[in-house]
């Protein structure tokens, strides 16, 4: 007894799991491969129980966010938004896409790998990843300070202290760097409730303390 595979070329679109109730072209699978299959010249009617489409092909991502680097706005978490990935499938039906860390969620300082999964109506899935890096450096803290501190003169003064700390670290003078970071923290604390909100001051101080050499 011969057991093999038959290929049915279906003209229309059929949802996975639905019965085939339309004409199809019969093509016996080539035996042995890679000889080309020979299709029947006239369509045959394929109906009845068991004549169903089985989708085993996973979706394909059509877009993914690029690897991202953002400035930390808090010592423990930073809100990050990214463009939602999209995917398509070979069969009709919606493709759902979900990611391990959602856009608009909070990310910790460091690099987070975000895994996104696309799933079709048959349960086939594909996965792709991208990374989100939340950086906390003297330069990034200066940028965040300039955005959050409403008094331009104070913001400039804070950045000068951070630049001095960065220069001291580069020169290997950790004692001087520690003093300049401490001066930054003291000035932010003095501005709490004035040119920065209490929460912003707390976040800026926390980020500065993470930079302490």
Domains annotated on the chain, with CATH? 60-135 (2.60.40.10), 138-210 (no CATH)
Q: Tokens for 106? A: 């909070």
Residue with tokens 């909070």: 106
CB 85 within 8 A of CB 61: yes
Q: Find out whether 109 and 99 touch, Cβ atoms under 8 Å.
A: no
DSSP state of 143: H
Q: What is the mean pLDDT of residues 171-199?
A: 96
pLDDT at 53: 62
Share of the chain above pLDDT 70, in %: 75
107-126 pLDDT per residue, tens = 999 999 999 999 998 899 99
Asked if the model's pLDDT at residue 24 lies above 80, the reply is no
Distance of alpha carbon 167 from the chain centroid: 35
Token pair belonging to 72: 């930390």
pLDDT of res. 8: 54
> Where do we find the tokens 């594909």?
126
Nearest to 121 by CA among 24, 203, 55, 47: 55
The tokens 């896409």 sit on which residue? 97
Question: Residue 44: its pLDDT value, please?
Answer: 46
Q: What pLDDT, on a 0 to 100 scale, did the predictor assign at position 15?
A: 64
Q: What is the DSSP string of 68-116?
A: EEEE-SSSS-EEE--PPPEEE-SSSS--EEEESS-TTEEE-SEEEEEEE
Phi and psi (nearest 5°) for 150?
Answer: -80, -20
Helices (H) and strands (E) in the chain, counts: 4, 11
Mean pLDDT of the chain: 84
pLDDT on residue 146: 96
pLDDT-based confidence at 90, cuts 50/70/90? confident
Residues 6+ apart with CB under 8 A from 111: 131, 132, 133, 134
Q: What is the pLDDT of residues 122-174, one digit of tens each?
A: 899 999 999 999 999 999 999 999 999 999 999 999 999 999 999 999 999 99
Decide: helix, strand or coil at residue 126: strand
């Amino acid at each position: 007894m011969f057991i093999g595979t038959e290929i049915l070329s279906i003209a229309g679109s059929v949802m996975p799991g639905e019965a085939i109730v339309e004409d199809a072209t019969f093509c016996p699978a080539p035996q042995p491969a890679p000889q080309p299959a020979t299709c029947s010249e006239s369509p045959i009617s394929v109906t009845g129980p068991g004549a169903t489409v089985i989708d085993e092909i996973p979706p394909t991502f059509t877009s993914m966010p690029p690897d991202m680097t953002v400035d930390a706005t808090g010592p423990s978490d930073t809100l990050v938004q990214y463009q939602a990935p999209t995917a398509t499938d070979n069969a009709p039906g919606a493709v759902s896409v979900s990611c391990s860390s959602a856009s608009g969620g909070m990310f910790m300082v460091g690099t987070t790998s975000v895994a996104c999964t696309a799933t079709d109506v048959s349960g086939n899935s594909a996965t792709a990843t991208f990374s989100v890096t939340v950086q906390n450096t003297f330069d990034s803290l200066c940028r965040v300070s300039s955005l959050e501190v409403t008094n331009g003169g104070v913001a400039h003064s804070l950045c000068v202290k951070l630049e001095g700390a960065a220069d001291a670290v580069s020169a290997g003078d950790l004692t001087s760097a520690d003093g300049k970071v401490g001066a930054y923290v003291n000035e932010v604390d003095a501005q709490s409730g004035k040119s920065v909100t209490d929460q912003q001051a707390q976040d800026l101080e926390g980020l500065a303390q993470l930079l302490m050499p």
